[in-house]
Structure 1
Amino acid sequence: MKKVAILIETDFFEKEIFYYHFRFAEEGIEAHFMSRLWGQPKLTFYGHEFKAPFDCDRSFENMTDEELGSYSAVIVPAGYSADRLRYTEDITKLPPASLFMKRAFENKNIIKGIICHGLWLMSPVAEVLKGRKGVVHNNLLGDAKNYGLEYVDSDVFTDGDFVTARTGEHCGLFAHTIIGMIK
């Protein structure tokens, strides 16, 4: 069975996360929501707008390259989850979630999907975006340019194994594109 890793943290965009939860399953693709669990077996995260709860019991930390390679896609969602995920306790080390994404970018067989404010997670590893093309939320245009990402004015854009979308409201087009690439 194909599977997709979707990063999550508090302040997620509820409509997007709940859409992925059901949409990927409809296509026979397992959606694995994962985060930093801070040594806990599970954490409950809360959405940004409605404070809806979402339980997460998977971690990307300590994932082997083989396990990472078993995923068809890794998605960084919209909302403020990416800002929370780029936290690091030791400022001399990369945030674990950013390092995870850097590892995903090193594997050309994995589709990397970033939507809306998800781009924030890439700030500590911006070198993986240099020379790539993509779309971002209007608020992140300056960030994208600083990362070396060539901006494309589109709702969803695909650059090889890299898919981007403008806002969380475009999650349907974004998921449709990724599903098409997986199948």
Structure 2
Amino acid sequence: MTQKITLLENITGNLNALVCDQFGNYVVQHALDFGRDIDRQRIVQHLALGNIPLLSCNKFASNVLEKAARLNTKSLEILIHNLANLNDSQLLDIMKDRYGNYVIKAFLELHKFPARNSNEVCGPMVFDSHSIVLIIASVHAHHTKSVVELLLRKRHEHDIAIELCPSCLK
């Protein structure tokens, strides 16, 4: 058990190198799957405080972010909050990226997002129609099609929920 703890502490101490590494990202993903809660929290906090757009668009780090999205832990809140508070340009860049779009999709499928610049949880990320047109018209539209469909479906579900029970979402 002490060997495992020492190994996990070494992993969490070297996240910058491991997350973006061809093989190191698998080590971090394994730590997310089988590590202690404290190790998962350290990894998620590191991701949340890192350069989310850069990590999302990195071939290897994006896999770690997708794995983190599947965790059911309170420590994900800061990562979700930081992701939701990226500016539209950053979010669009991530959505258009061939790796980043999977990160956005994973978080959209599994989590509710806070309203921008708020700690209050609301429905899915909100993009205006102009932003959605930019996404669809992008050079990498084939990467974003499923994300746009998911965004529109989530927005529709959120709108229906508000109509049925406006006080439930406050």
The TM-score range, normalised by the shorter chain, is 0.3 to 0.5
Larger helix fraction of residues: 2
Q: Which has the higher contact order (CA 8 A, sep 6+)?
A: 1
Larger radius of gyration: 2
Larger strand fraction of residues: 1
